């Protein structure tokens, strides 16, 4: 540098170096802050996404709430009456809701493992009790009429496949339908997609809802 002494040249170099360091440091800090803001933005988006997913899961779970049926339990139970319970529950579950069996309940004449259907009435007999004539007639009639039939409210997929014209797809549809709306009459099975009048005629004498 002409016109400057070595000392002045040294001072100028130091100043240039300091200015360079200053602006370089400022640029570096700006980059770091910018990256942090991007990270924070990503974190916010991630939190929002998680909230959306969580809300979706909660909303979706609502669609899978258990379906409720009503059954009438009478006879030798602590608290007989009409009760509500989830579809797919068994007689033993209903008995527990009714406070349990009485000491004189004849458990050899009932099936506690029986799956329950909507609008069903079950009488728990007492030991040594002679069932009234009307009840016995209804009981015998049901036994005779429904013996060997497939209960479309409680049967397995394998049992449905034994019915003429019922394949894998329609069996799945029947199960899906009854989980949402239990069959009240055998004619209700015609509401299932793929079961028309002709197919119903072929299976109507082989199915029951009780």
Give the model's pLDDT for residue 137.
35
pLDDT at 17: 80
Just give the CATH number of 157-208: 1.10.150.320
- Low pLDDT (below 70) residues in the chain: 1-4, 28-66, 131-147
Q: Which of 125, 97, 130, 92 is nearest to 111 (CA)?
A: 92
Provide the pLDDT for residue 206: 92
> How does pLDDT run across 6-36, given as a tens digit for each residue?
777 778 777 878 878 877 777 766 666 665 5
Residues 68-146, CATH architecture? Roll (3.10)
Nearest to 148 by CA among 134, 129, 162: 162
Domain boundaries of the chain, sorted by first residue = 1-64, 68-146, 157-208
pLDDT given for residue 134 in this prediction: 45
Distance CA 93, CA 114 (A): 10
């Amino acid at each position: 540098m002409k016109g400057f002494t070595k000392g002045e040249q040294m001072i100028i170099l130091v100043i240039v170096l300091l200015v360079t360091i200053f602006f370089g440091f400022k640029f570096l800090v700006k980059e770091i802050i910018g990256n942090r803001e991007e990270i924070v933005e990503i974190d916010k988006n991630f939190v929002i996404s998680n909230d959306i997913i969580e809300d979706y899961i909660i909303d979706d779970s609502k669609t899978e709430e258990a379906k409720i049926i009503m059954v009438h339990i009478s006879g030798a139970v602590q608290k007989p009456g009409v009760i509500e319970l989830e579809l797919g529950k068994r007689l033993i579950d209903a008995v527990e809701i009714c406070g349990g069996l009485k000491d004189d309940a004849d458990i050899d004449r009932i099936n506690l493992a029986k799956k329950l259907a909507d609008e069903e009435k079950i009488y728990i007999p007492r030991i040594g009790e002679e069932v009234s004539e009307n009840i016995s007639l209804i009981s015998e009639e049901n036994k005779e009429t429904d013996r060997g039939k497939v209960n479309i409210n409680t049967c397995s997929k394998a049992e449905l496949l034994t019915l003429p014209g019922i394949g894998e797809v329609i069996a799945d549809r029947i199960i899906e339908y009854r989980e949402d709306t239990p069959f009240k009459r055998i004619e209700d099975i015609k509401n299932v997609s793929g079961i028309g009048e002709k197919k119903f005629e072929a299976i109507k004498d082989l199915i029951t809802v009780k």
